[in-house]
Amino acid sequence: MKRAIVVGSGAGGASVANELQGAFEVTVIEAGRQFRPFSHSLDAAAKWKKSGLLFDEREISLLFPAMRILKSKDMVLVRGQGLGGTTTISTGNALRLDGDLRNLGVCLDDEFDAIRREIPVSVEHEKHWRPITRRLFDICRDLGLAPQPTPKMGDYGRCRHCGRCVLGCPDGVKWDSRRYLDSAMARGASLISGGRVTRIIIKNGTACGVVVRRGWRKKTLAADLIILAAGGLGTPLILERSGIACQPRLSVDPVLCVAAEWKNSGLDKEVSMPFIVEKDGYIISPYFDFLSFFFNRRWSFPSGHIMSLMIKLADRSEGSISTRGVRKTLSAEDRAKLDAGVSLCREILSRLGIPKERTFLGTINAGHPGGMLPLTERESITFHHPALPENVFVADASLFPHSLGKPPILTIIAMAKRVGRICREKMS
């Protein structure tokens, strides 16, 4: 049986590994290790912040090893590292976002149908919203903003509303890609954790393996097929070290929260992003920003007394990541959209009874990097970029033609399923 190496165990990697196992002998290589939810109390974290011990967002990995931070000029970039990748620290949103792909001639209907059969998706959490969430929803509806409950992946009938969706669901309510990884391994796939793939070995135009670093040791693993799913910040680096250039088109979906003190809001115990308001180029949703709470001095109130609305932006595809570092700034267009979002959030909060002058902003952060190897109409059938060896594919957010400005996990899974099917039909 031919051997396939899948780099990454997040939405793309675990999905494609699950599709390939059986047709190939699959090995998944994950740079992180076993995922563990955040176990510290927020009160303790607040004390650390007041003491001055928490002053740089990159320190989050000391508290929560699964979350890793890069910094660019204008924002903090967040990614997951561990089994399950960023899905373990996501909000579990299940949005179908393949409009740009359809415009290229890509139809993923079969893949989305398969996802519906495999992953429970519902708005069950709406039944248990806190009163303040319901009030915010009604305010948005009365303002004509057409809010919609956010579909979630998982068994939200069991949700205890602990508010820790992005810190690792402690009860296994939220679906994450470890489910697909477990399925692949139950059928014979193998896993290497704590191993960072540095480059692809290419001979005579064909990939024959990868170089893996574990600590100070390097190892070469042979393969007939290689799937890169190390994420929008990881895959471009592997390709660069392999002599394959990506495009300087990094998009990241920046997030900015507008917050205020609100006694006993309980937002820190609410499901993350319970509903969404869609505007031109951005969305708004209730969201407790833990990164701002830990590191932003303006977020000085107890977690249970903070009200916060998120703006998630569809940013311009301008930027890059390379071995020299990350380059990502907000364009004038991006900033104008953020300003519009801030004004709308303040209007919503004012209807709640919070004066606009009492609001404060969070730290601009982003967790949806991608777009540096975008699909074009030419690759709509093959899902294979001409710069890659014929036995190397990408199955992560690097393929997105443009920033989505919305949670991408469901669509990444669909694309990875398509890549898996193509590889089975073409190479197994």
165 and 288 in a single domain? The answer is yes
Are 10 and 154 in a shared domain?
Answer: no
Q: Which of 309, 14, 259, 372 is nearest to 143 (CA)?
A: 309
Flag whether pLDDT at 231 surpasses 80: yes
Domain annotation covers residue 276: yes
pLDDT digits (tens, 9 = 90+) for 412-428: 999 999 999 999 998 87
Asked if residue 49 has pLDDT above 80, the reply is no
Question: Based on the domain organization, do 376 and 235 belong to the same domain?
Answer: yes
pLDDT grade for 77, boundaries at 50, 70 and 90: very high
Whether residues 75 and 127 fall in one domain: yes
pLDDT band at 221 (very low <50, low <70, confident <90, very high): very high
Q: Is residue 114 part of a domain?
A: no
The per-residue DSSP string of 173-207 comes to: -B--THHHHHHHHHTT-EEEES-EEEEEEEETTEE
Q: Is 385 helix (H, G, I), strand (E, B) or coil?
A: coil
| Pair (155, 192) in one structural domain | no
Residues 291 and 277 in one domain: yes
What are the start-end ranges of the E strands in 262-409? 275-279, 282-286, 306-313, 320-322, 325-327, 360-361, 365-366, 392-394
What pLDDT does residue 193 have?
96
Residue with tokens 């939810």: 37
Whether 409 is in a domain gets the answer: yes
Helices and strands, number each (H, E), in the chain? 11, 21
Could you report the per-residue pLDDT of 329-359, keeping only the tens digit for each? Answer: 999 999 999 999 999 999 999 999 999 999 9
pLDDT for position 218: 93
Residue 2 has pLDDT above 90, yes or no: yes
- Decide which of 366, 398, 415 is a domain's last residue: 366
Residue 44 confidence (pLDDT) above 80: no
Residue 360, domain CATH: 3.30.410
Q: pLDDT at residue 140 above 90?
A: yes
How many other C-beta atoms can be found within 10 angstroms of the C-beta atom of residue 161?
A: 18
Of 245, 247, 294, the C-alpha closest to 268 is 294
Dig out the tokens for 268 from the structure: 């820190």
Domain membership of residue 387 as a residue range: 3-34+175-246+371-427
Q: Check pLDDT > 80 for residue 53.
A: no
Same domain as 209, residue 233: yes
The residue behind tokens 């319970």 is 274
Residues 160 and 195 in one domain: no
pTM here is: 0.97
Total count of domains within the chain: 2
